Amino acid sequence: MAEQNLVQIESNRSFISRSAILAFKACEYKGYLTYFYDDHGITSSQAVLDLLIGTVVHRGLQHLLEHCRIHHPDGKFDNQCIDEAVAKAKEVWTETLSNYELALHSGEFDRLDEIIPEQECLFEGLIRGFAIKKLPGILEEYEILEVEKEEVFEDFSDLVTFLAKADGLFLRKSDNKLVILSIKTASQYLDVTERDILHDMQGVSEWVCVKDRIVKNWKKYKEIKNNQTHYIELEDELPSGELELIENYHWFEKFNSCPEIYAVQYEYLIKGQRKQDPYGSGIYKQNSFLVHSYKMESLMTLSGGNFSTSSDDYKWKSKGSGRLPKGWSKIDIWNDVGIKNWIEMLATGKIQSEEGDPFEEILITPPLVLRLPEELEEWLVSTRFYAERLHRGLEWIRGLENKIKAIDNSDLSIATIDKLSDLGKFRQQLKMAIWEEFPKNTKSCHSFYGRDCQFVPHCHELLTLDESVNSSLYKTRLPHHELELNNFIEKGYLEGK
Ligand code: SF4
């Protein structure tokens, strides 16, 4: 390790999250650029459609679950509740589109007037489909206790705080067991997906964080309760207020014990892939019956573009490998019945019922996933060790950056030869430190599915980071966790963003 001992290190805690760990594991240099570069990390100025659809669907479902937790635990939510969830998702969609350009295939920018309504139709369809087909069953089986609660796991490590946010925490009504909800949007649900779930880090990290918080609160609760036992012995009144302040107090009162986490419930929402349609045309369309279905050609000619509400005029599934049924054409749902009507037609089984329930193909609930205590402990020990290693590397780099800044900010007109030689030495050490601590993994640069790492122009096309940021290729990372976001706001990193 190059002359690390020369640098005076100022020790600060770092924040880390599951997505940061995954980025570092894919390529440590990518993790460094995304999460640590210039203290805040940088990301592409373009929004990746796939990820954006996942974000907006999550926002809509978060609103719906929270709304039902508060107002409709009996499951009696109505259409207006779903409309509001869609509106919340649209807010995020619109705001993102006003701040970021979409990352699309070359030549697609002149088709934005088709791509944007197609994608709006897709996320609205997924939210409405989930609300109608999945949510009633969830509310019957579970009580929703929490939705997207921020977890700040301080005791994860002496150096690093782990941040997490489970999509939901449920109480199973039949046996009072806690179940963590994990919502996933994916382009496909393959055999391997079910095997992957068994080892998915999200199901472990959120479990460890939620458990840590509940156990801590339970200990506080017991401590106060035990100190108050003399009131009970004297048959005197308990002093009120103190216990109620403890988070999760109502659960402890209800169960008279610390509730244990039993399993993770995954919910998959399948978007379909963006594929060239027709093949080789360079025109990419979302391969999902939520947005493109089939309609009788004779009706299209006769109605002059008007939609029909007769279920016999539509199909959601074509026979064979992608061939259209004879006499039928592929349509854009948003230009026809509209997504709200379409979901209702599908959900009531009016369309092609002989093909089964269409939602079974796109809303998938795998079996509950259980975790062994040793799995949780292994994750904690190995992730803490890894995160602390990243933290130490970062501290070293920060120390060198501060030395360089101090010389840069000093009056170089009266710079001594020593000062300039120090500057050169520290710059060289900084470069070496980054190479050593956060090496590139070039196996992660190009994906089989065609999406390159956002840092390819910098790593492999000779664009410096300063040039990339100045040319707005990259911008300051927007944190997803409240604590980190507030920290960025305090430091002024998000001003003008
Ligand atoms: S382009 Fe490749 S080497 Fe560079 S950060 Fe991305 S994955 Fe790592």
Q: What is the mean pLDDT of residues 157-163?
A: 96
Same domain, 293 and 248: no
**C-alpha of residue 428 to centroid of ligand 1, in Å:** 21
Q: Which domain holds residue 28?
A: 4-43+380-491
Q: Is the pLDDT of residue 7 over 60?
A: no
In the three-class reduction of DSSP (H, G, I as helix; E, B as strand; rest coil), residue 387 is classed as: helix
| Nearest atom, ligand 1, residue 33 CA | 5
Weakest mean pLDDT among 39-48, 203-212, 346-355, 448-457: 448-457
pLDDT at 210: 96
Look at residues 332, 347, 371 and tell me which one is the last residue of a structural domain.
Answer: 371
| Cβ contact 390:14 at 8 Å | yes
Look at residue 277 and tell me if it is in a domain: no
For residue 53, name the pLDDT band (cuts at 50, 70, 90). Answer: very high
Same domain, 405 and 357: no
Same domain, 138 and 215: yes
Same domain, 149 and 111: yes
For residue 303, name the pLDDT band (cuts at 50, 70, 90). Answer: very low
Q: Is the pLDDT of residue 348 over 80?
A: yes
Q: Is 445 in the pocket of ligand 1 (CB under 6 A)?
A: yes
Same domain, 427 and 482: yes
**C-alpha of residue 484 to centroid of ligand 1, in Å:** 24
Residues 52-80: b if buried by 16+ CB within 10 A, e if exposed: bbbbbbbbbbbbbbbbbbeebeeeebeee
pLDDT tens digit sequence for 228-245? 665 555 555 555 667 777
**C-alpha of residue 445 to centroid of ligand 1, in Å:** 5
For residue 278, name the pLDDT band (cuts at 50, 70, 90). Answer: confident
- Of 438, 444, 474, best ligand 1 pocket probe by most atoms within 8 Å of the beta carbon: 444
Q: How many of the other CB atoms lie within 10 Å of CB of 204?
A: 20
Same domain, 149 and 293: no
Weakest mean pLDDT among 9-23, 133-147, 269-283: 9-23
Q: Is 160 in the pocket of ligand 1 (CB under 6 A)?
A: no
Same domain, 39 and 56: no
Q: Which of 409, 446, 366 is nearest to 191 (CA)?
A: 366
- Of 453, 461, 463, 465, best ligand 1 pocket probe by most atoms within 8 Å of the beta carbon: 453
What are the φ/ψ torsions at residue 78 (nearest 5 degrees)?
-125, -175
Look at residue 283 and tell me if it is in a domain: no
Same domain, 422 and 456: yes
pLDDT tens digit sequence for 306-326? 555 567 788 898 766 556 667
pLDDT tens digit sequence for 192-225? 888 888 888 878 999 999 999 999 999 988 888 8
Mean residue pLDDT across the chain: 88
**C-alpha of residue 441 to centroid of ligand 1, in Å:** 6
- Write the DSSP assignment of 204-258 as a string of letters: HHHHHHHHHHHHHHHHHHHHHHHHTHHHHHTTPPPPPSTGGGSTTHHHHHHHSS-
Look at residues 322, 340, 371 and tell me which one is the last residue of a structural domain.
Answer: 371
Same domain, 32 and 52: no
Look at residue 282 and tell me if it is in a domain: no
Weakest mean pLDDT among 220-234, 266-280, 426-440, 453-467: 220-234
Look at residue 284 and tell me if it is in a domain: no
**C-alpha of residue 169 to centroid of ligand 1, in Å:** 36
- Of 455, 463, 465, 473, best ligand 1 pocket probe by most atoms within 8 Å of the beta carbon: 455
Same domain, 333 and 398: no
Helix axes 373-409, 417-437, angle to 10 degrees: 160
Look at residue 193 and tell me if it is in a domain: yes
> Is residue 299 within a helix (H) or strand (E), and if so which, with residue range?
helix 297-303
Same domain, 353 and 439: no
Whether the ω angle into residue 325 lies within 30 degrees of 0, i.e. cis, is no
Q: Is the pLDDT of residue 298 over 60?
A: yes
Same domain, 421 and 479: yes
Rounded percentage of the chain residues whose pLDDT exceeds 70 = 88
Amino acid of residue 83 = D
Look at residue 246 and tell me if it is in a domain: yes
Pick the residue with more confidence: 123 or 471? 123
pLDDT at 253: 84
Rounded percentage of the chain residues whose pLDDT exceeds 90 = 66
Look at residues 315, 344, 371 and tell me which one is the last residue of a structural domain.
Answer: 371
Residues pairing with 16 in the sheet? 162
Q: Which of 364, 18, 371 is nearest to 179 (CA)?
A: 371
Look at residue 280 and tell me if it is in a domain: no
How many structural domains are present in the chain?
A: 3
What percent helix, strand, coil does the chain show, rounded to 5? 55, 15, 30
* pTM for this model (two decimals): 0.89
**C-alpha of residue 30 to centroid of ligand 1, in Å:** 5
Look at residue 406 and tell me if it is in a domain: yes
